[in-house]
Amino acid sequence: MRADRLVSLLLLMQSRGRVTAAEAAAALEVSVPTARRDLEALAAAGVPVYAQPGRGGGWSLVGGARTDLTGLSAPEVQALFLLTGPAATASPALRSALRKLVRALPATFREEAETAAAAVVVDPRRWGSAAAGRPVHLAGLERAVVHRRRVRVSYRDHAGTATDRTVEPLGLVDKDGVWYLLAGTADGRRTFRVDRVAEVEERDETFVRPAGLDVAAAWREVEAEVERARARVAATVTLPDDLVRVFADQLGERYVETLDVADGRTRLRVRADTPTMLARQLAGWADVVVVEEPAEVRAELARFGVLLAQTYPG
């Protein structure tokens, strides 16, 4: 069971102080990639575990912190390490486990652990392509988040434009392996994709985190804004009232807006990135959904119909 293996990994770091992925793999009798994913899972769960790159580096607990796990019940341990995305943070068992873990830490490390637990969000839903691996500068940004240190970052945006700026690292988001930094800047709160960070320089300056900052809620706002920008194509459709809930669940509620209801049918506005993508999503509902507009989506549906008839004659 993965939960048991993660607990064993945590205890291994306590006993050795610092371990490499290869050492952890040998001790736990798993592959090196599996050990590396487990180490990253501990960090993503908010456990104060961080990587030190370079010769003599490895993974260790912040400040050499030690913890006593004997107070955790089996369900709490499983809830702590079974990373199922943002929904897991709402689990009472998970919250209880995190509180016990934080209380078990020495007082000098407790504030750092509480910051780490609140500043890392796991979002399992992918945007586009998968990550190429753990970003080079993720460990440095993790330390800056925990220690509340300003950093200077060299960053190249999606258009290839390079900039240098000083930011206040507020939180990190693991979106199915692609990491994002939420940071305060002179122009307000901004989001940076960590694998586009070319350089990180930690400044000898601390900052005060905004009172009441909820990194998970802040990320939901960022995600909603991105999704609105990506869903550029809209279509107006109608379908029977009793199918609206299933339809919205399948296409994603954020992409479906109810316009009006009449004569047992509901009119909706649905969105996607392109007319082709939207037509693909609607094609499976062709027997119950009527697409009123736009013409581009109707034309794509007609094209799919011709292709299907040609591919599956008779």
Q: Where are the domains of the chain?
A: 2-118, 138-215, 231-311
The residue ranking higher by pLDDT, 144 or 41, is 144
- Whole-angstrom distance, CA of residue 169 vs CA of residue 206: 10
Q: Band of the pLDDT at 299, cuts 50, 70, 90?
A: very high
> How many other β-carbons are positioned within 10 Å of the β-carbon of residue 47?
27
Q: What local confidence, expressed as pLDDT, does residue 121 receive? A: 74
Pick the CATH number of 138-215 from 2.60.40.10, 2.40.110.10, 2.30.30.520, 3.30.465.10: 2.30.30.520
Q: Percent of the chain beyond pLDDT 90?
A: 32
Structure tokens at 31: 């592959």
Q: How many CA atoms lie within 13 A of 3 on its CB side?
A: 16
Pick the CATH number of 231-311 from 3.30.70, 1.10.287, 3.40.190, 3.40.50: 3.30.70
Structure tokens at 237: 């459709």
Residue 202's nearest CA partner among 146, 156, 149 is 149
Q: What is the mean pLDDT of the chain?
A: 79
Common-topology check for domains 138-215 and 231-311: no
Q: What local confidence, expressed as pLDDT, does residue 169 receive? A: 93
Q: What local confidence, expressed as pLDDT, does residue 52 receive? A: 77
Residue 140's nearest CA partner among 55, 190, 201 is 201
For residue 280, pLDDT over 90 is answered with yes
Q: What local confidence, expressed as pLDDT, does residue 78 receive? A: 39
pLDDT in tens, 98-118: 555 555 544 544 555 556 656
Cis-peptide, bond into residue 135, ω within 30° of zero: no
- Whole-angstrom distance, CA of residue 93 vs CA of residue 87: 12
Length of the chain: 314
Residue 231: phi and psi, rounded to 5, are -85, 75
CATH architecture of 2-118: Orthogonal Bundle (1.10)
Through-space distance between the first and last CA atoms of the chain, rounded to whole angstroms:
50
DSSP 63-79: GG----GGG--HHHHHH
Q: Is residue 5 within 8 Å of residue 38, measured between CB atoms?
A: yes
Q: Band of the pLDDT at 53, cuts 50, 70, 90?
A: confident
Q: What local confidence, expressed as pLDDT, does residue 150 receive? A: 95
Q: Strand locations in 124-161, DSSP E?
A: 149-156
For residue 160, pLDDT over 80 is answered with yes
306: Cα separation from own chain's centroid: 40
Q: What local confidence, expressed as pLDDT, does residue 84 receive? A: 34
DSSP letter, residue 63: G
Highest mean pLDDT among 11-15, 142-146, 174-178, 205-209: 205-209
Structure tokens at 182: 């939420």
pTM of the predicted structure, to 2 decimals: 0.53
For residue 271, pLDDT over 70 is answered with yes
Q: Is residue 2 within 8 Å of residue 82, measured between CB atoms?
A: yes
Highest mean pLDDT among 32-41, 110-119, 160-169, 252-261: 160-169
Q: Is residue 89 within 8 Å of residue 118, measured between CB atoms?
A: no
Q: Band of the pLDDT at 62, cuts 50, 70, 90?
A: low
Q: What local confidence, expressed as pLDDT, does residue 81 receive? A: 36
Mean pLDDT of the 17-30 span? 85
Lowest mean pLDDT among 10-19, 23-32, 86-95: 86-95
